[in-house]
C-alpha cells in the first residue's frame, strides 16, 4: 500500500466514527418514545382546557367579567388576531 493511500485511510477513520455516531444517535432518537408521550400529554391538556372554557362559558351565560373573559378567549382561539 503506498504511503498516500495509507494516510487517506487514517484521515477518513475519524469521519467514519463521526458518521457512525450520528447514525446511532438518530436511530436511538427515533426509537425513543418519551417525546411522543410529551406531545400526547400536551394534546390532552389542550383538549381539556378548551372543554373547560366551553363549559364555563355556558355556566357564565355571557354576563359579567367572566363572560367577557370567555368571549376574549373564544376570540383568540377562533380568529387570527387576539385583542
- State if pTM tops 0.95: no
C-alpha–C-alpha distance, residues 58 and 71, integer Å: 11
Q: What percent of the chain has pLDDT over 90?
A: 11
CB 67 within 8 Å of CB 60: yes
Which pLDDT tens digit goes with each residue over 13-53?
766 787 788 888 777 776 766 777 888 899 999 999 989 87
Cell, residue 44 = 390532552
Amino acid at each position: 500500500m503506498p504511503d498516500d493511500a495509507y494516510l487517506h485511510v487514517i484521515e477518513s477513520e475519524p469521519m467514519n466514527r463521526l458518521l457512525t455516531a450520528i447514525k446511532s444517535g438518530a436511530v436511538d432518537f427515533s426509537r425513543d418514545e418519551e417525546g411522543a408521550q410529551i406531545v400526547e400529554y400536551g394534546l390532552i391538556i389542550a383538549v381539556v382546557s378548551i372543554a373547560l372554557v366551553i363549559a364555563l362559558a355556558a355556566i357564565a351565560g355571557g354576563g359579567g367579567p367572566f363572560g367577557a373573559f370567555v368571549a376574549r378567549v373564544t376570540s383568540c382561539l377562533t380568529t387570527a388576531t387576539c385583542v
